[in-house]
Amino acid sequence: MPSACGNAMKRLLIWGASDQAVVTLDCAQAMQMYGQIDLMGITTQKIRLFAQHRVMMEENVIHAKLFHAYDEVIVATGDNRLRQIRLQILEEYGIPIATIIHPSAIISPTAQVNCGSTILANAVIHTLARIGTGCIINTGAIVEHDCVVKDFVNMSPNCAMAGHCSVESRAFLGIGSTLSPAVTIGEDAVIGAGAVVLTDIPAHATAVGVPAKIIKQRD
């Protein structure tokens, strides 16, 4: 158990107060590192109620002044671009950015997880895998050996990446999707729930099905 000093007394602000914030809060509490956890809702998103936790709205506070009242801040929204924009604001203000990792997650000592990422319960980050800044690796997701997950990616629950895969920035992997070995998913691509990806998917494409086929290509 942590002591009553040091990390146990850290103050955490979760920037977000919708569904992603619910699981981020649970994960942060499980870490037993924070003596105070508050939340700040994102204007464009639905706000959940959080018993025993202070909830603010971002339009009602001066960000720089508020942020400096906390030891660390984590951005909690499933929207990849919103998460990127708000993490960039934190970096501009020089605010310490938290990395939230559930105690039940399994992370190889040779893996790398960058700041601002959230690794949820029972996720696995295997040998020599790399997780970028501001990613969400959801419940039970598997990132196998030598995989690269770039910045602001969102992996839904029970996704699985075989070895040597690469997922580019802001891509979204739907629940239960599977990537075969050495597949590359382009930036801003969307992989549908349950899809099995056997070949590379280009940037800005949406792919669904078994095997996954492109149904939409955005500019």
List, by residue number, the catalytic residues: 145
H-state helical runs in 14-141? 19-31, 63-67, 80-93
Q: What is the DSSP letter of 47?
A: P
The Cα–Cα gap between 152 and 172 comes to 9
Q: What is the DSSP letter of 4?
A: S
Q: Are 104 and 141 in contact (CB under 8 A)?
A: no
Torsion of CA 11, 15, 18, 21, to 10 degrees: -50
For strands 213-217 and 205-208, give the pairing: antiparallel
